[in-house]
Structure 1
Amino acid sequence: MIARLQGTILEKMPPEILLDVAGVGYEIQLPMTSFYQLPDINESVSLFTHLIVREDAHLLFGFTERLERSLFRILIKANGVGPKLACTILSGMTAEQFVAAVMHEDITALVKMPGVGKKTAERLVVELKDKLNNLESIPAMGTLPSTALSNTDSSASILSPKVSAKDEAISALIALGYKRNQAETTVNKIASEDASSEQLIRDALKSMV
């Protein structure tokens, strides 16, 4: 199991990055709540990671907080929840917000996530309520060294100048499970000329949740 990686960010295409670790490039997918905390391209970062091995692919997921990775691991063990849906949930909510929604049986908040219908939300509450009590033993601030992280909405986060911030934001939302029409409508509604792709994604997720 690859539990942690530290390296230099070569590319950022939300919700994925290409991380150079001693000359080896790792493609890593992150929930947007972690993606927002990444430094700029060519800067160093440390991530908690979780590797999923399939017959056709090895999928690597990254997190800036230990708590978020722990919740991801609990989510993917729930009936009907795969890694993509788990990332989508953690992109629309922080780990703390999701735990609160489950513990308070807030079905309304959960069904706002794409791919989470009422039955799935009710099942998550039933299956996870007891398991989430164990998260109390994991420090909520279990982050990797702050020197490796910096909040940024810089346009340097865009992988290529040929890709507009709007197009990148729309692609990220689609990758997270939102329908193209919904992603395009939401991004076009909130878009401003100077907004970066990360800011557009953040605002779009807030408006849809």
Structure 2
Amino acid sequence: MAQKTDSLTVAVGGIGFEIFVPRMFGRKGEDLRVYTYLYVRENEISLYGFESEADRNLFLELQNVTGVGPKLSLSILGTLTTEQFAAAIIAADYDTLTSVKGLGKKGASRLVVELRDKLAARQGIAAGSTELPPAVDVDGKRAEVLDALRVLGFTEREAGARLQASYDSELSLEENVRAALRKSD
């Protein structure tokens, strides 16, 4: 593995693949897990790599926002952690968002408008709420509970509200789903 400031080259079966990364991770010679995304456009094929699935998922989510491409997405992930970005979007913290190189006030506003409700629901905050996430979903358990509620027929907004009202990090996935089902609107 060779490292540059914005990419790493991984040798697989004698072929070196350049993978663009938001920030460096791992050391030369050590085993490394890289979560990748192959970006294919008419004039470009690029490989993007991430230290965690959460980073890759946020990168993919950002690709759906008007005016945000892979370079700006990498800049966001290189400046803010996934949790910091989610908190900044939910709180509409434009100072934090505009600290990202290449992201101005207009772009930050577009991100808030397009992502706020989605990210808030994943954190178990009712859509449109101004409160900050009660806890960072480090292990992904909140997201699993939210997914289970959606599978059971709840909208993202309903599932987010139930999750916010009932989630307990000490409970198992099943216990949290049961607790959310017991909550009434």
- TM-score by structure 1 length? 0.57
Q: Deviations over 1:160-180 (max 9, x none)?
A: xxxxxxxxxxxxxxxxxxxxx
CA drift of 1:23 comes to 2.1
Say which SS state the counterpart of residue 51 (structure 1) adopts.
strand
CA drift of 1:43 comes to 2.5
Q: Deviations over 1:185-208 (max 9, x none)?
A: xxxxxxxxxxxxxxxxxxxxxxxx
Q: Does 1:67 align with 2:54?
A: yes
Q: Deviations over 1:79-131 (max 9, x none)?
A: 11100000001111001000000001101111111211111111110100122
Task: Identify which of 138, 141, 149 aligns with 1:140.
Answer: 138
- TM-score by structure 2 length? 0.64
**Whole-angstrom CA distance in 2 between matches of 1:53 and 1:25:** 18
The one-letter code matched in structure 1 to 2:5 is P
CA 1:117–1:85: 2 relative to 1, 3 Å: same
CA drift of 1:42 comes to 2.6
Runs of 4+ in 1 over 6 A off after TM superposition: none
CA drift of 1:56 comes to 2.2
**Does structure 2 retain, via aligned residues, the 8 Å contact 1:49–1:63?**
yes
Task: Identify which of 90, 94, 100 aligns with 1:107.
Answer: 94
Superposition pairs of residues 143-154 of structure 1, within 5 angstroms: none
The percentage of counterpart residues that share the same residue type is: 39
CA drift of 1:141 comes to 4.1
CA drift of 1:136 comes to 4.4
The one-letter code matched in structure 2 to 1:22 is G
The one-letter code matched in structure 2 to 1:19 is V
Superposition pairs of residues 100-179 of structure 1, within 5 angstroms: 100-133=87-120, 135-136=122-123, 140-141=138-139
CA 1:105–1:69: 2 relative to 1, 3 Å: same
- The match for 1:91 is 78
**Whole-angstrom CA distance in 1 between matches of 2:47 and 2:11:** 14
Task: Identify which of 7, 12, 20 aligns with 2:11.
Answer: 20
Aligned residues: 129
Say which SS state the counterpart of residue 33 (structure 2) adopts.
strand
* Unpaired stretches in structure 1, ≥5 consecutive residues: 1-8, 143-209
Bigger mean CA deviation after superposition, 75-84 or 17-26: 17-26
Larger RCO (CA under 8 A, 6+ residues apart): 1
**Whole-angstrom CA distance in 1 between matches of 2:81 and 2:72:** 14
For the pair shown, which has the larger CA radius of gyration, 1 or 2? 2
**Whole-angstrom CA distance in 1 between matches of 2:54 and 2:11:** 24
Give me the CA root mean square deviation: 2.0
Q: Does 1:29 align with 2:29?
A: no
**Whole-angstrom CA distance in 2 between matches of 1:28 and 1:134:** 31
Bigger mean CA deviation after superposition, 51-60 or 93-102: 51-60
